Structure 1
């Protein structure tokens, strides 16, 4: 059973999302919160598997709550998926860097929402298909030139760098395995080792690092 916390300042939005989730046998909404502070408190008390977190809330917003959750070692198993009204919200890239697993636009289809929750629980969520990589590409382009080289990248093997580029391109473990002629288990192992070496919580942070440090060139078709 995947335990979910809903955090949004609009009661009707929470009710709509809850009605979708409550119809699924493997999903359980354990609590709701109307702001980031309440969401953080609920996470510490209930330890949900996934938090669906609105970015813009009064008081403590979703970005600050996501950052505090990601920095709390006791909440390391909690995955945060940000909800945004706008698919090019300026805050979304910051949310990924703050430790969010990914994000969805609020008008996403119910099937996409359910899929996102399930893959987030596995740590594999990234971004809504309606947004794809254009947001990460844009904001990584702005920030990449200001970052100092990261020595953690030196620990990656040549194969791990190949895998990291494919993760940044949005490939699943199965697609990575097919591209590099590996077994799916070997591809998954490579991804896990990359995350461990980089200190990344999930695939989303691996993608952000790949763009920030120039391993993937924004806008190139084969990326």
Structure 2
């Protein structure tokens, strides 16, 4: 029998341990628990290095937003703690979903939520989650979702479906409009925009693109005008919606290589 390796990620230790213990009672499920996003990422990296990758992550939608237990608590076998909560900084639930999709795309993620929220559920799907499940659902329902996402199914509560579709449609509309605006930029203006996405200031952009600060200032003003925004922050947000990434590393002025 092929076993399913599940990692529960929740900074409420009682919930995480209880859920992990319940899942561990299933004959075809191996389960571990992590009390924070950084602990989950370490567990994923360690398991991959050992050739025993996790199949599914169950991630708390509110991970990193509340108080956490300051110390580790051992779990009974076959459940194992992956590290003390809060260690290594805060990683929220959706950021963890995105990180996992990037680092280990074969791992499926399911977001566990205290309440139904179409906007957050849509964001979770966009981040790469395969499902959104209420924490008060039955264990049999959760197991069905776990097995479903392994078949590349997407699982949402029926009551959320309409709202999530509306949110995804609106997001797509905004993304399409953002893409159209970015396409109106000249190649040089797009380079400047990518530098802005990377967080570079005017002087750094000038050095990187071998331009004068005055020329960079003009390009930045043109970018803001064409995108219809009034600040660098707004321009960066629009650029990200359009899929514009940061400028790639380039050699500094005067460097050799």
Instruction: Give the whole-Å Cα distance in 2 for the aligned partners of 1:124 and 1:80.
Output: 11
From 116, 139, 144, the counterpart of 2:167: 139
Q: Secondary structure at the match of 1:107?
A: coil
Structure 1's 115 and 89: CA in aligned 2 closer, same or farther, altered over 3 A? same
Q: Is 1:35–1:57's contact at 8 Å kept on the other side of the alignment?
A: yes
Structure 1's 27 and 91: CA in aligned 2 closer, same or farther, altered over 3 A? same
Kindly report the root-mean-square deviation, in angstroms, between the aligned alpha carbons of the 2 structures: 1.9
- Which deviates further from its counterpart, 55-64 or 137-146? 137-146
From 21, 24, 40, the counterpart of 1:22: 24
TM-score, normalising length: structure 2: 0.53
What pairs up with 1:6-155 in 2 under 5 angstroms?
6-29=8-31, 31-46=32-47, 47-58=53-64, 59-72=90-103, 75-88=104-117, 90-129=119-158, 131-148=159-176
Structure 2 equivalent of residue 188 of structure 1: none
Q: Secondary structure at the match of 2:176?
A: coil
Q: Secondary structure at the match of 1:67?
A: helix
* C-alpha displacement of 1:132: 4.2
Q: Secondary structure at the match of 1:81?
A: strand
Q: Is 1:35–1:62's contact at 8 Å kept on the other side of the alignment?
A: no
1:95-115 superposed Cα distances (whole Å, 9 cap, x missing partner): 110111111010111110111
* C-alpha displacement of 1:37: 1.6
Instruction: Give the whole-Å Cα distance in 2 for the aligned partners of 1:100 and 1:69.
Output: 10
Instruction: Give the whole-Å Cα distance in 2 for the aligned partners of 1:89 and 1:33.
Output: 26
- From the CA coordinates, give the structure whose radius of gyration is larger: 2
1:122-177 superposed Cα distances (whole Å, 9 cap, x missing partner): 22242234x44123123124323223299xxxxxxxxxxxxxxxxxxxxxxxxxxx
Q: Is 1:6–1:52's contact at 8 Å kept on the other side of the alignment?
A: yes
Kindly indicate whether structure 1 or structure 2 has the higher relative contact order, using CA contacts under 8 Å at least 6 residues apart: 1
Unmatched runs of 5 consecutive residues or more in structure 1: 151-223
4+ residue segments displaced more than 6 Å: none
